[in-house]
């Protein structure tokens, strides 16, 4: 078997394990990773190839072991039938990118004023519906940015190994 199996390439669970293996060599093999996760290497291979749905408890253990909190959000947004439409961040930018986008796109005061203007008479009229939809879209974007910042903080503020955060 080659170093990078092509059948698993691009799979979120595989990519997360491979990224974690850069800091924890025990995760370089499916056998060792499976043992640490409490699953067989063949089950892990099936998860990483997309042949088998990953049970929620295994996703939680993966996120913890791989130190990848974004894996939980990815699972919720992409795999979970209940939360599939939630607007959560599933990837993380670096802190500079998050902060810049929060400055540019995160003007909640303007959005709040727009919503207050629409809601002041207690009715959303036909001509106000597009404005309200746009305000909701912008709020969803801000929510996603906040979610991304939370992921970043979960990953890097809880670490006590002194890793760089480039």
Average pLDDT over the chain reads: 85
Nearest Cα to 101, choosing from 159, 155, 55, 147?
Answer: 147
Domain that holds residue 112: 95-157
- 83-137 pLDDT, tens digit per residue, is 666 566 556 678 888 888 888 877 888 889 999 999 999 999 999 999 999 999 8
Contact 20, 65 (CB under 8 A): yes
Does residue 1 sit within a domain? Answer: no
Does residue 21 sit within a domain? Answer: yes
On whether both 22 and 66 belong to a single domain, the answer is yes
pTM of the predicted structure, to 2 decimals: 0.60
Per-residue pLDDT at 157: 83
Question: What CATH number is associated with residue 53?
Answer: 1.10.260
Per-residue pLDDT at 101: 82
Q: What is the 3-state secondary structure (H, E, C) of the chain?
A: CCCCCCCCCCCHHHHHHHHHHCCCHHHHCHHHHHHHHCCCHHHHHHHHHCCCCCCHHHHHHHHHHCCCCHHHHHHHHHCCCCCCCCCCCCCCCCHHHHHHHHHHHCCHHHHHHHHHHHHCCCCCCCCCHHHHHHHHHHHHHHHHHHHHHHHHHHHHHCCCCCCCCC
Does residue 166 sit within a domain? Answer: no
Per-residue pLDDT at 1: 42
Into how many domains does the chain fold? 2
- Boundary (domain end) residue, out of 78, 111, 127: 78
């Amino acid at each position: 078997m080659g170093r990078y199996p092509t059948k698993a390439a691009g799979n979120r669970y595989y990519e997360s394990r491979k990224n974690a293996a850069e800091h924890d060599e025990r995760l370089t093999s499916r056998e060792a990773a499976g043992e640490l996760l409490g699953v067989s290497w063949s089950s892990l291979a099936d998860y990483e190839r997309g042949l088998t749905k990953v049970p929620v408890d295994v996703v939680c253990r993966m996120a913890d072991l791989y130190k990848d909190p974004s894996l939980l959000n990815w699972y919720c947004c992409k795999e979970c039938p209940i939360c599939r439409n939630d607007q959560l961040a599933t990837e993380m930018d670096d802190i500079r990118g998050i902060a810049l986008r929060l400055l540019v796109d995160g003007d909640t005061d303007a959005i709040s004023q727009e919503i207050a203007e629409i809601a002041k008479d207690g009715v959303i009229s036909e001509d106000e519906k597009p404005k309200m939809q746009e305000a909701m879209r912008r709020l969803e974007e801000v929510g996603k940015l906040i979610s991304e910042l939370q992921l970043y903080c979960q990953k890097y503020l809880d670490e006590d190994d002194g890793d760089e955060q480039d």
